[in-house]
Structure 1
Amino acid sequence: MWFISLKSWNMFLTMGLNDWAPQLDHPIMMTECICNPISSRVKMAELLFETYGVPSVAFGVDAAFSYKYNQRLGICREDGLAICSGLATSHAIPFIKGEPVWDACCRTNIGGYHVTDYLKQLLSLKYPYHMSNITWEKAEELKMEHCYIASDYMSELQIFQKETKEAEEKTRYWQLPWVPPQEEAPSEEDLARKAAFKEKQSQRLREMAAAKRSLKISELENELCGLEGLLQQLDEVDEAEGTAVLARMGYLSRQEIESAALKVTQSLRKAKGESNEAEDKVDASLAEKYPLTLVPDEMLTPDQLKEKKKQIFLKTTTEGRLRAKQKRFEEETFKERQNQQDEEKRLENPELYLEELRSRYKELFEKVEQRKRQKTNGHHSNGHSSGGVGRGERLSAAQRERMRLLTTAAFDRGKGEDTFGARDEDWQVYKLMSKDNDDDDDKGQEEDEAELARVTSKLQELDPTFVPKSDQLPEHLPRSRPLTAEDYKIALGVERFRCPEVLFQPSMVGVDQAGLDEMAAISLNRLSARADIDESVKDRIAISILVTGGSSLFPGLVPRLEALIRQSRPYLSPLKVVRASDPVLDAWRGAAIYADSRGFSLQTFSMQDYYEQGEAGLRRHNIVYSLY
C-alpha cells in the first residue's frame, strides 16, 4: 500500500511512474480537509483513474488521522476534539467512540499563510527601504523562529506601548548585511596626480579656445575682405552693372553691404580684443551716408521721399545696433574692471574679501526674496492674502503710488466730495499711472539677481563649503547622514505576537470568521443538538482536546487556547488541551498506518465504482477511522 498527500506529487516518481509507462498498480490514500468541495474529489479521482490507472483510492481527513495516531500513543482519548490549524485553513472536529462527528465540525479560512503574510506586510510598512530583503520566505523563517502567542493580548500590547525594559528584552533583531564605508584621505600622490590632470585639461581647453579664436578671426577677415572688394567693385562700375552685381551677390543696396561690413568689423575688433574707438567716426559718417534724412519732406520729390524712408530705416537700424553694441561693450568693460578690483581685494586680504562676499550675498539674497514676496503677495491685495503681511508690504513702490493717486483724485478739488470723473481732464490721472515704475522695479530686480548670481559664483569658487540658500533643505526636513549598522537592523517587537493573534482574531486581516477558541465552543455547542449526546459526553470530549497542524507550534498557544475555551465552558468543568507529538507529520504517520492495515482494502473507492457510480459514489464515500 502507498500513501501520498495532495502536495506530494513528486512521490509519483518514486512509486514507479515514468513517461513511457504512466500507470500505478497499487491503491492510493489521499488526505483532504473537512468540508472539501466534492468537485475537488471528482477531479482528483478522474486524474488518478483515467490518467494514472490506479486500481482504487481512499479519501481521509488529515486532522482525523493525526488524532487517531496520537490516540494510539495515549496522548488523547477515544472521545475528544481535534483542533487542526494548517497552512490556509483551521478545523475543529469532535470525536465520539473514535469516529468524527461531521455534523458538529467547524472550519475557518485562516492559517499559517495568513500569519506569514501579515508579518511580511507589517515589516514592509515599518521598513519600506528594505522591502527587497523582506521576502515571503524570510518572513516565514522569522515567524517560525521568533513569533509566539501572548497569554493576554491587550496586556502584552501595553508593555510595548510603554516601552518598558521587558519590551526591550522581548524584542528580537535581524541584522541585514552591511559594509561600513571606508573613507581614506587622499595621498599626496593622488593630489598631485589630480592637479596635473586638471592642469593638463586646462591647457588643452586654452589651446582649443585659442585655435577657435584664430579660426574665427581668419573667417571674419576673409568676409571683410570680400565685402570691401565688393564695395570697390561697385565704385568702378556704373549704376546698371552695379544693380546686376548686387542681385548676383544677394544684396538689395550698397547700404546693406556697408552695414554688413560694419557688423563684421565690430565682430573682428571684439575677437581681437581691440577697443571700440572708431564708434564716433562711424556715427559721424551716418549723416554722410544718409543725407536725405536731414532734408525736409517739402524739398524732396516723391522718389526722394521713398529713398528717404529707406535711409531713415537703415539709419535707425544701424544706430540701434551700434547702441546695443556699445552697451554690451560697456557692460563687459565694467565686469572686467569689477573682476579686476575683486581680484586685487582678494590678493590683498583673502579672509576679509571672503567675509565681504558672504555679507554681500546675504544682503542681495534677502533683497531678492523680499521683492519676490512683495510681487507674490501683491496679487492677494483683495484681503485674501496670508496673515501677518501688511498691505504696504504687499505693494511695490509703483503700486503704492497708483493707490495714492486713486485715493486722492476724488478729493483734489478740496471739497471732500467724490466728484471724480465729472470732467474730462479728471481722467488724465491715468496717464500718470504708467508702467515705467514697474519697468524700473523689474529692471532693478534683474540687476540684483544678476549680481546675486555673480556673488554666488565667486563664493562657490573660493569657498568649497559654501551652499546657496536656494539649494539648502528646509529646516523641518532631515539632513542626509552616512548610513550605519542600525539602519540595516530589523526589529521585531510587537510583531512577534501581533501576527499569530490572527488565529484567535481573524478580523485583524479582514476575515470575518471565528477564531480557534470560538471554533471549539461552536463544535461543542453543535453536539448538544444530538439527542444521544448529554453533558457528560461533552465533559469527556473537553478533557481530550488535541491541537495539531503546523500553526500549533507557536509557543504559548496551548495555555492561551485552554484559557479561552474555559471561558465558554461551565464553571469548574474539566478541561484539558494538549499538543500532538509531532503536529506537522502526525497526519502523515496516521494515514500511513491506516493504509497499511488489513481493513484498508474494504475502505477504498475502486475504478469499477468510479465508472459505475461516478460523482454520486464519491459524494457518499467515507472511511471508518475506528478500524485503527
Structure 2
Amino acid sequence: MSELLFECYKIPSVCYGVDSLFSFHHNNPEGSSGLVVDLGYHATHVLPVIEGRVDPSRSRRINVGGAHIINYLHRLLQLKYPAHFNSITLSRAESLVHEQCFLAVDYQAELQQWSDSEHYESHVRRIQLPYTMPVVNPGLTIEQQKERRKELARRLTEINARKREERLAEDEEQLNQLLAAQDLLDEGEEEEFQNVLESYELSNVGDLQKMISSIQARIERTRQKIVAANTADDPIVEESKVKQIKQGLRPKEQEEFESWIEGLKQKRQELLDRRNARRQRRQDMAKRRTAAAQERMRIISQLARKEKRDDNFGMRDEDWDVYKVINKECGDSDSDEEQKLLELEEVLRRHDPEFEGSALGRASSSADTAETYQLHVGIERIRTPEILFQPSMVQIVMNKPVGSPKAGLAETIEIKFDMSCSQVGSPEAGLAETIEFVLKGYSVDVQSLLVSNIFLTGGCASMPGLVPRLEKELREMRPFESQFHLTLAADPVLDAWHGAQELIASMSLSRCFVTRAEYEEKGGEFFKEHSASNHYFPSPVPLVQAEIVPAPACVEEVEIDVF
C-alpha cells in the first residue's frame, strides 16, 4: 500500500490505523480499557484494549460480516421466488437488510412465534417488485355488441342468399339438361337419349321423370326461401327484446332509488358467485379425487348396474333428469349470464358513480397481477442476521483458520460465498462464543475490566436487537450476578473517521505519519505505532551467507595394463 501511495500518487506522508480503534478512542477517554466488537462488512473482530493499547495476541476475527448477511438473504429470496430470480438483486437485498431485518433476543422462541399464522400475517413484510401493468382489452358496450350482432347477422344473411342463388342456378341448369334429354326421346334419337341416361346413371324414362320432378320441387322451395329472407324483419324483433330487458332494469316510481341500486348490485353479485361456483366445479370435475367427480362416477356406475335389454336411455323424463345431474356444467348458460352481467354493469355505471366494477369481473386482475410480484419477507428477517451468532447456518470458504492470531487486524481478507460447496456450514464459533473465548484468556480482574466496557462499532452494530441479544448471551456466560456494560457507538459507521480526525489533531504529525524519506529508507512495510494502530514487527534481516571457496579438483592417476 505504501509503495502505491508514494510511487503512484506522490503523497507526502501517510498514517495507518484500525478503524474500530479510532471509533473506540472517539467515544471513550484516553487510556480507557474495554472489549471492542467491530462488526464490519467482511469480518467481525473482537479486540481487547487494556489501558488504551490493543492486545493483538488475544484478538480474534470471525469471517462473517454484513456482506454475508446480504448474500444470505439474497440467496434465500432467490430460492423462495425462482420466478423473480433476476428482480431480486443484491442492492434490493441490501436495502431489505437495512430496513427489515433484526436480531431476535431468543431465536428459537421467535421461530415458534412465526409458526403461528396470526403472528406471521401481522409481522410479514410484503415488498412490491416493479412490474408492467398488462394491457387489458376493455369489453364492448351494449351498443357496440348490438351493432356487432347486426353486422354478423347481415353478413350471414348475405352468405346464405348467395348460396341459395348459386344452388338455384345449378338446379335450373341441370333441369334444362334433363328437359333437353326428354326432347331427344320425343324426336326419336334413342341412341343419344341412352347416352344421357348413362351419364346421369338412370335406367329408364321413369327414373328421368322422377329426377325432373324432384329438381323442380327443390327449385320451388329455394325460390320460396329467397322470398322469405328478403321480407324478414328480424332487427325489429331484436330491438323489441332489448327494450323489454331495459325496462326491467329501470327503477319503478314507487321504489326508492338506493334500494333499486342495491338490488342491481345483489343480482350482479349472485351472477358472479354462480359463475365462479360453476368454474370451480369444472375444475373439480377434471380432478379424479374431488367430491364432484366421485358423485358423477357414482351416478354413472348406478346406471351401468341396471339390467336393460334394449338401450332406451333418454326415452323417459327421469333419464333427462339424470343427465342434467351428471352434466351440470356443460350447458350454454355462460353466454346468457355474461350478457345479463354486462347489462347490469352498464346500468350501474350509468346510475351509480361509485360503482367501479368492470365487465366479467376483470377489476381484480390488476390486483392479482400485483400480488404475484410481491416478496413476502417473513422469517428471513431474523434468519439472515442470525449468522453473526450461528455461522454454521451459512457456507463460507475461508482463507484463514478459525481465530487465527496471525491475521492482522486491518488485513483485507477475501471470503467466497459458495452455496454449492460440499462443506455444510461454517465451522467458526459465533460472536458470543468468540467473546467468551477471548475473555477466558485473561485473569478474573482483567475480565471484569473488559466486560465493564464492551464497545460495539461497525456498520452491522446498528442492527436492531443487537444490544439486547448480546446482553442475554453475556448474562448466560458470565458468573452469577456479575456486572457488565454494553456501549454502542454514537455513529457506528462514521465514528472511525471522527476518531482519526481527533487523533491527527491531538498528535504531532511526526509521531504517527510516515514521510516519504522514511519510506525510502525503511521500505514499504514500515509504519509508526500509536494508540489506534497495529503493533509493528519489522521483517527479519536475511542471513548473510558465508563466502564459499571452491576446493581444488583432485586428479587421480590410474594405471591400465594393456595385454
TM-score (norm 2): 0.49
The TM-score with structure 1 as length reference comes to 0.45
Structure with bigger helix share is 1
